[in-house]
């Protein structure tokens, strides 16, 4: 954060010319997540931009698809990607990535012969491709991390996620270790699974995993 501090400190040091620094963030609470020292260099004026609506997202996706979008994507596929994005974050980059993953999945299916092109037609991305792409996009990293972890590590990851969700806007370093231990015990007892019920972490164990 030292670089950001120096960056936002420039306007205060400028003497011979007016210098204005404008910061753009995809999170509404970014200033509160920064250090107090850095917050002291930020102005109090903010301009909030609303997330794209579903109709706006559909229009943007069709514009980015050069030519006739219906030649590449089913209309339902574009609408599903737009609704999924709108319900989750409204971040248009997610919609772009979702469509890219869906197109790659469809291309792989046609190339491998799992899907055939009907005579007189051409390859097309369907809603099922976008649905599969969205599942891979939003769950694969989490699932892989937990599935490749030991019982103790999985409990720590799940506990951090639960506490982070409950403490929206606060940095992960603000989580109390004892609070994490309590949450881990609660998750283990509530899971009903032997691999978690038998996992009991001490303060030293938790610090060792986190480090």
pLDDT along the chain (211 residues), means of 10: 83 78 78 82 79 86 74 86 80 85 87 80 84 72 69 80 69 68 80 68 76 69
| pLDDT value for 3 | 85
Q: What is the pLDDT of residue 23?
A: 83
Secondary structure, 3-state, 23-83: CCCCCCCHHHHCCHHHHCCCCCCCCCCCCCCHHHHHHHHHHHCCCCHHHCECHHHHHHHHH
* pLDDT of the residue at 112: 86
- Per-residue confidence (pLDDT) for residue 45, from 0 to 100: 80
Place of tokens 């109709």: 55
- pTM attached to this predicted model: 0.53
| pLDDT the model gives residue 67 | 59
Neighbour count for residue 154 (Cβ, 10 Å): 20
155 and 184 in contact (C-beta within 8 Å)? yes
| Phi, psi dihedrals of residue 93, rounded to the nearest 5° | -65, -30
Neighbours of 168 (CB within 10 A): 7
């Amino acid at each position: 954060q030292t670089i950001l501090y120096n960056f936002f400190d420039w306007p205060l040091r400028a003497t011979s010319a007016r210098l204005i620094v404008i910061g753009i963030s995809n999170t509404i609470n970014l200033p509160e997540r920064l250090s107090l020292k850095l917050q002291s260099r930020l102005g109090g004026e903010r301009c909030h931009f609303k997330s794209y609506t579903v109709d706006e997202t559909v229009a943007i996706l069709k514009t980015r698809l050069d030519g006739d979008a219906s030649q590449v994507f089913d209309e339902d596929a574009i609408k599903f990607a737009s609704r999924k994005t709108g319900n989750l974050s409204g971040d248009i980059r997610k919609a772009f990535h979702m469509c890219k993953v869906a197109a790659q999945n469809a291309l792989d299916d046609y190339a491998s012969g799992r899907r055939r092109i009907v005579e007189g037609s051409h390859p097309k991305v369907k809603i099922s491709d976008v649905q599969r792409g969205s599942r891979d996009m939003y769950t694969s990293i989490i699932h892989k991390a937990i599935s490749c972890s030991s019982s103790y590590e999985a409990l720590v990851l799940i506990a951090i996620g639960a506490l982070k969700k409950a403490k929206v806007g606060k940095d992960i370093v603000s989580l109390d270790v004892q609070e994490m231990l309590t949450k881990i015990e609660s998750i283990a007892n509530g899971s009903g699974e032997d691999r978690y019920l038998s996992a009991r972490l001490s303060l030293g164990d938790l610090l060792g995993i986190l480090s």
